[in-house]
């Protein structure tokens, strides 16, 4: 009995010693993992600060748009919201392994190349999205795939920093116009439509940018995405709610625009005809969004529990500390190497001032005075040179407008949302129709955009196309691609918008089109040669 008792007594301290050793080991592992997490966070903070300082011009271009446009004023809240979303789930980081990711480094290189393309083509939105992409890639490269997955929405929410969506204005204005016309006629109100201008018995209305609903759409997507993340766990429910947040404001804006016209019509234009119709619009939109959130709350779900990291994974992270610095350096190189590349390409593509070559007369065409054409000027800016001429054959005049671009910078580029053949509130000219045409230039089929407009001075047809390094296109995206290709070859960014216009009477529409087609068939080769010679000067 004593012997047994001694054995029992002697075993108790041994067991205690083993348990204590395990506890000490676990504690050491926790401390090592916490130290590794802290190191990665410090490195990430320094890397992000360096990145934002290096690309401060792109960052400030984002802030400038926030300042001047109420549509994107929410951008000031995006980063704080993202940080708050991470902070409220900061305990998740303790249960997620932290390890540098090669995929993050590669993503950073891709985002950096995207920034280079955006700068070469002067597409601010591409450069801005690429900058946010580089931020996300640094987080991915330094903290690892597991952390990126755990905080996918807060990190992805940063893309709402980019002021994006202006390209939707023309399309959504057209949709709004078509809906209003159909709804008015459905209620027995006769409508005469010319472009986006509507005439009803009680007065005239025009669908402008404020009627497009783009502002409502952007606000709804941002708020709807945040609401879906905070209130749902299921991916399907989140996607459905976001999809509704996209479709609902578009439909609501159509109803809002139609309701404003109806309100003005039945109040003898005493209501909803001034600034108050904007107030009515935002109140209506607010009610729609509140109803959306109220309905969405019926399917609300509890939050997911925090993940738990295995002890082995924590130990591996702490042990890999030395090799991590190599990955940190690669991650920084992947996103910072593109500034000197851009500087070198800009140096190779530099040209002097624009010196226009001459357009040589062909066939029966001869140069005449511009005074014989209606006074009209497109709303284009930022060009390095402008050439305007008038030509005539058999008493049919054609005006030529060439806006030539070189060494393009933000705000001084060919493809810009502010550059338009006709602005929506032009005090003189009103658009009557638009579309696409095709014509042959020097044996090559060239696309042209057609815009028809009228004023007290008469009617004109305007065809315009982009010329970039010898290629013709009317597609904004294809034009940017051509521009990027020429610059990557070190050939510069010479490009031009070419506009041809001719007056016509209401019953001579086809004759006007035939005049432009004839001009391109006979004078097109000379026009193309002039542009080519200008680019080489």
pLDDT, one tens digit per residue, over 312-349 is 444 444 445 556 677 788 888 888 889 898 888 877 76
- Dihedral Cα 512, 514, 515, 518, nearest 10 deg: 170
pLDDT at 25 over 50: no
Q: Which positions ≥6 away from 3 have C-beta within 8 Å?
A: none
Q: Enter the tokens of residue 368.
A: 């005449």
Q: Is the pLDDT of residue 10 over 70?
A: no
4 pLDDT band, cuts 50/70/90, is: very low
Task: Judge whether residue 20 has pLDDT over 60.
Answer: no
Q: What is the mean pLDDT of the chain?
A: 82
Q: Is 367 helix (H, G, I), strand (E, B) or coil?
A: strand
The CA–CA distances, whole Å, from 77 to 66, 82, 144, 161, 361 equal 11, 9, 26, 9, 59
Give the lowest-confidence range in 18-27, 168-177, 188-197, 424-433: 18-27
Q: Per-residue confidence at 139, pLDDT binned at 50, 70, 90? A: very high
CA distance 157 to 153: 6
Q: Which of 245, 260, 267 is CA-nearest to residue 211?
A: 260
pLDDT beyond 90 at 261? no
- The answer to whether residue 166 scores a pLDDT higher than 80 is no
Q: Is the dihedral of CA 519, 522, 528, 533 positive or negative?
A: negative
Measured CA to CA, the distance from residue 526 to residue 537 in angstroms comes to: 17
Question: Coil, helix or strand for 352?
Answer: coil
Strands, E, within 381-441: which ranges?
A: 385-393, 396-405, 430-441
Which contacts qualify for 287-296: CB closer than 8 Å, 24 or more apart? 288/248, 288/249, 288/252, 289/220, 289/223, 292/224, 292/244, 292/245, 292/248, 293/227, 296/227, 296/228, 296/231, 296/241
H or E element at residue 14: helix 2-54
Can you read off the two tokens belonging to residue 532?
């080519």
- Predicted pLDDT at 121: 82
How long, in residues, is the chain?
A: 537
Is residue 395 classed as helix, strand or coil in its secondary structure? coil
Q: Calculate mean pLDDT across residues 451-464.
A: 91
Q: Specify the pTM.
A: 0.71
Residue whose tokens read 């202006």: 166
d(CA 151, CA 143): 11
Give the residues across from 430 on adjacent strands.
Answer: 454
- Pick the residue with more confidence: 494 or 7? 494
Output the pLDDT for position 129: 95
Average pLDDT score over residue span 44-61: 92
The per-residue pLDDT for 281 is 64
The helix, strand and coil proportions of the chain, stated in percent and rounded to the nearest 5, come to: 60, 15, 25
pLDDT (0 to 100) of residue 34 = 60
User: What's the CA gap between 402 and 497, in Å, rounded?
Assistant: 6
Question: How confident is the model at residue 15, as a pLDDT?
Answer: 44
Q: Checking phi first, is residue 23 left (phi over 0); if not, alpha (psi -120 to 50) or beta?
A: alpha
User: Do the Cβ atoms of 163 and 65 come closer than 8 Å?
Assistant: yes
Q: How far apart are CA 324 and CA 42, in angstroms?
A: 13
Residues 399 and 393: their CA atoms lie apart, in Å, by 12
pLDDT above 70 for 14: no
In three-state secondary structure terms, 360 is coil
Q: What is the reported pLDDT for 6?
A: 42
């Amino acid at each position: 009995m004593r012997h047994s008792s001694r054995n029992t007594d002697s075993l108790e301290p041994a067991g205690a010693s083993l348990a204590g050793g395990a506890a000490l080991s676990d504690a050491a592992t926790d401390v090592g993992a916490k130290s590794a997490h802290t190191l990665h966070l410090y490195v990430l903070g320094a890397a992000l600060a360096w990145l934002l300082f290096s690309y401060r011009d792109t960052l400030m271009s984002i802030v400038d748009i926030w300042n001047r446009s109420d549509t994107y004023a929410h951008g000031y809240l995006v980063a704080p919201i993202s940080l708050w979303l991470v902070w409220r789930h900061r305990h998740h980081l303790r249960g997620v392994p932290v390890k540098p990711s090669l995929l993050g480094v590669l993503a950073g290189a891709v985002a950096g190349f995207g920034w280079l393309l955006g700068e070469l083509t002067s597409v601010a939105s591409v450069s801005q999205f690429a900058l946010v992409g580089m931020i996300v890639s640094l987080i991915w490269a330094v903290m690892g795939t597991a952390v990126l997955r755990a905080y996918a929405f807060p990190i992805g929410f940063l893309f709402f920093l980019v002021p994006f969506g202006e390209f939707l204005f023309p399309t959504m204005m057209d949709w709004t116009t078509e809906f209003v016309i159909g709804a008015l006629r459905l209620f027995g109100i006769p409508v005469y439509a010319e472009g986006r201008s509507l005439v009803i018995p009680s007065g005239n209305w025009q669908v402008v940018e404020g009627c497009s609903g783009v502002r409502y759409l952007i606000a709804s997507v941002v708020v709807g995405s945040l609401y879906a993340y905070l209130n749902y766990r299921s991916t399907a429910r989140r996607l459905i709610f976001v999809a509704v947040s996209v479709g609902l404001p578009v439909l609501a804006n159509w109803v809002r625009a139609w309701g404003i016209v109806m309100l003005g019509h039945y109040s003898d234009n005493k209501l909803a005809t001034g600034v108050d119709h904007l107030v009515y619009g935002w109140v209506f939109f607010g009610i729609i969004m509140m109803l959306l959130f109220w309905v969405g709350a019926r399917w609300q779900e509890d939050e997911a529990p925090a993940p738990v990291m295995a002890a082995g994974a924590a130990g591996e992270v702490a042990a890999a500390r030395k090799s991590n610095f190599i990955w940190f350096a690669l991650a920084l190189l992947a996103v910072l190497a593109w500034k000197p590349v851009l500087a070198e390409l800009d140096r190779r593509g530099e040209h002097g001032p624009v010196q226009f070559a001459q357009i040589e007369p062909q066939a029966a065409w001869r140069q005449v005075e511009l005074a014989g054409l209606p006074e009209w000027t497109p709303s284009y800016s930022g060009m390095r040179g402008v050439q305007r001429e008038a030509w005539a054959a058999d008493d049919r005049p054609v005006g030529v407008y060439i806006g030539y671009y070189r060494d393009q910078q933000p705000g001084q580029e060919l493809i810009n949302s502010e550059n338009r053949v006709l602005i929506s509130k032009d005090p003189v000219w009103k658009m009557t129709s638009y579309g696409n045409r095709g014509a042959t230039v020097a044996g090559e089929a060239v696309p042209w955009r057609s815009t028809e407009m009228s004023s007290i001075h008469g009617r004109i047809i305007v065809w315009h196309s982009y010329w970039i390094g010898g290629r013709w296109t009317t597609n904004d995206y294809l034009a940017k691609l051509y521009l990027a290709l020429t610059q990557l070859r070190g050939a510069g960014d010479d490009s031009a918008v070419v506009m041809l216009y001719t007056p016509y009477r209401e019953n001579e529409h086809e004759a006007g089109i035939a005049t432009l087609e004839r001009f391109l068939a006979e004078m097109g080769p000379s026009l193309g040669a002039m542009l080519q010679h200008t680019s080489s000067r």
